[in-house]
A and B are shown apart, each in its own frame.
Chain A
């Protein structure tokens, strides 16, 4: 289990190690395959058959393994197309050998590929067809080729297929290796589809493992990881397959051991049966002699009984004797016994008719040719043969016992290893799971957002601490009651409707309701909830949006007030425009009437005073008009269009010239100045600027007014220069403030609002304006209109 600090570096090291390991394995496979092929090429059996008692590796198998190893070697890096093509070629060759060999086995075809490369001089010794790889090998080849073919494709399905195929191939290899444990020629002979050579099994296992490792590596670096269950399923299948193989081998070994033991027992039974037969034969002899000696009828009866028992025993022995040779030998016993029985009966009858002496003579006459001795000899020869059989059968039993023991040990070890592997994997999974659980728990606890799980039944099941912190209730009281109890009465209907939606499986993406806090206040909570209907659970993340709600309410209030203020300002301007001017008109009008109608009653001074009254009234009218214009400039919407500044300036100057046709003024206007600007506002601004220039150059002869553009840093600055009265730069900042004048109105008339209007128009266009000047040396007004470089993208910030 890697520690928390397990960095990418450690992972890299591990990966490098794995690379080295399976690179070495695959390279070793290539070399081994070449060595085996050399064994075929040079005809050295020791190179093909390791160990010598085992099955040999076929030439095609060696070629296939070489092809498979080469393909894997080529695929080790995500190399060029050529490398990949080469790899696919190797896999194709492997698949062809495997598939063709398997078809030959299953359907009994002969495509003639078995002996294509080399003749097989050791044909037919072990149930194998000459030169043909075992069926297991062929199938493993096909599987490995498939796994190799799928390997470079990075998708979950491909990876699963590749892993499954290599796992199956390794299972076959393990089966082949296990079969080597059965130390018995007869077993190998009995394998219908050939026997895998031990090096083949090892090579297949290595190939399959290398493929599994490659897949694991890809899995780790893949963006689309396989479900862990795939690995578990494969492992389980593998373990079950291994157990099944072991069980079969063990069962088979046991059956054979039983059979061998039965044989041994049977051999002993047969021997016992022969001794019993001999005993009955001796009984016949004894009873015959006893009768001859005593003449007692009981001996005569016993003789007959012994004859019967002997016959029965002879039948039984016949049944027990299965060996053909023994049966033939046993047949020699029958005439001998028959003559013995016949002799016994004959002498007994002779004693009854001719007397005991005659019978004894008859017996003595036979001594030299006693059938009993013959029978003994025959039975003894059967014993000798029986001993031979016993030795063979006991040997077989011993071998089976040994096989069984071996399978038991290896099987137990494999199962143990598998158990350990499974245990380690489980341990790792458990730790990983616990760790990810801990991680989740920490995030759950740390989260600023409210996280919770609720049941469809309307109760919270689990809540993070943020919930308690936001609402002030402790977790237990939140879990205890339905959450609707905490919802604001006005929001309950909407909350119910949202719950109904969730109940239908529709997620909640943005829903806000109010929750009651412990102190009785309400907090706005914004919800994002996903229902998991199968579990009957709702997973919710939520956020306390009370502050935002309050903020947005404040904002709306501010906007509303601003709108009111604006409309008030508008009606104020309107009233100013109307009502302030009316009295001025009266002042001016009646002053004029006084001057006209009552001039006679006024002296010169009175008329002069009335003149000043009229001038003041008119000046106030101008001030009002200018102020109105200043406010209107800020209020009217800005509509940008391509506006020809040069043409506009020329037009305005022509107007000014019409007003004072006698003045000598030289214009120098750069042609083709086009700006994206509001034409009406620009006309007002330029009108003011040009009006100023016209006005302040009144004492110059000739007066010069010049308009040109400067482009720097993608920004166009328009410069309007004159050679007029200029101003002191110390007061430059005051120029653009309303009512601030740098010249007395006696010198130059004006309200002091014009430049404020200009500045406001320029700023509404996103530009800025500055003034440069020197007293009596002229003034320059430089302004920019942002739209020039930003184009139509720039929006008016105030409208």
Chain B
């Protein structure tokens, strides 16, 4: 049932990266997780440019877990650019951030985020959140079919 496509985690904080990966692992999510450590790297991965030149952009991740507070290129800007490209426009994006600001929430949804999840301080709660995310985006949710060649 579970798809084998990759999960793109955009996260600059190594602690958060480790915790997120652990939360996913603890929930037995077996998808390969690609980590981009800033906005530019994330876009390079998605568009097959820069360090990821040669990667087929049509090979889309199952879901993008996107932090907002990123070096070089902010999360909201990443969101805006990937939604602007037809190839990446329909990839599910879950904003995963510390921010509780209404402004960030509204801006994310306006730019086409599919979910907005605030990282709880309590790791137990975080694990629970990761479980629900995995269940929804990797299992229950049906991605659009037939977009672009594989």
Contacts and interface: CB of A to CB of B under 8 A. Distances in A.
Contacts of A636: 102
Interface in B38-92: 68-69
A581 B126 CA distance: 13
Interface in A612-633: 614, 617-618, 620-621, 625, 628, 632
Interface stretch (B15-23, B108-116, B131-139): B15-23
Interface residues of A, number: 26
A753 B124 CA distance: 25
Interface in A563-580: 573-574, 577-579
Given A621-B121, A621-B122, A582 B100 contact: no
Contacts of B121: 581, 584-585, 588, 617-618, 620-621
A589 B19 contact: yes
Given A592-B124, A618-B121, A621-B122, A582 B99 contact: no
Nearest to B119: A585
Contacts of B124: 592
B129 to A, nearest CB: 12
Contacts of B16: 582, 585-586
Nearest to A629: B100
B101 A585 contact: no
Interface residues on B, range: 20 to 34
Contacts of B19: 585-586, 589-590
A588 B101 CA distance: 22
B124 to A, nearest CB: 7
A578 B126 contact: no
B100 A628 contact: yes
B122 A618 contact: yes
**Max chain A C-beta neighbours (<10 A), residue from B97, B121, B122:** B121
Given A581-B121, A584-B121, A618-B121, A589 B15 contact: yes
B97 A578 contact: yes
Contacts of B22: 589, 593
B126 A589 contact: yes
Contacts of B99: 574, 577-578
A233 to B, nearest CB: 81
A516 to B, nearest CB: 51
Contacts of B68: 578
Interface in B1-51: 13, 15-16, 18-19, 22
A581 B123 CA distance: 12
A574 B97 CA distance: 12
Interface string A105-132: 0000000000000000000000000000
Interface of A is mostly: helix
A614 B120 CA distance: 13
A582 B122 CA distance: 11
Interface in A527-577: 573-574, 577
Interface in A141-175: none
Contacts of B98: 577-579, 581-582, 585
Contacts of B101: 573-574, 577
B11 to A, nearest CB: 10
Given A574-B99, A593-B22, A588 B122 contact: yes
Nearest to B103: A574
Contacts of A581: 98, 119, 121
Contacts of A574: 99, 101
A668 to B, nearest CB: 34
Nearest to A617: B121
Interface in A583-620: 583-586, 588-593, 614, 617-618, 620
A618 B124 CA distance: 11
A617 B97 CA distance: 18
Nearest to B97: A578
A592 B123 contact: yes
Contacts of B122: 588, 614, 618, 621
A380 B16 CA distance: 168
Given A578-B69, A582-B16, A593-B22, A588 B100 contact: no
30 contacts: A574-B99, A574-B101, A577-B98, A577-B100, A577-B101, A578-B97, A578-B98, A578-B99, A581-B119, A581-B121, A582-B13, A582-B16, A585-B16, A585-B98, A585-B119, A586-B19, A588-B123, A589-B15, A589-B19, A589-B22, A590-B15, A593-B22, A618-B121, A618-B122, A620-B121, A621-B120, A621-B121, A621-B122, A625-B100, A628-B100
Interface of B: 13, 15-16, 18-19, 22, 68-69, 97-102, 119-124, 126
Given A585-B121, A588-B122, A593-B123, 5 more contacts: A577-B101, A578-B68, A585-B15, A588-B121, A593-B22
The 9 A-B residue pairs whose C-beta atoms are closest, nearest first, are A621-B121, A586-B15, A589-B123, A592-B123, A589-B19, A581-B98, A578-B98, A584-B121, A578-B69
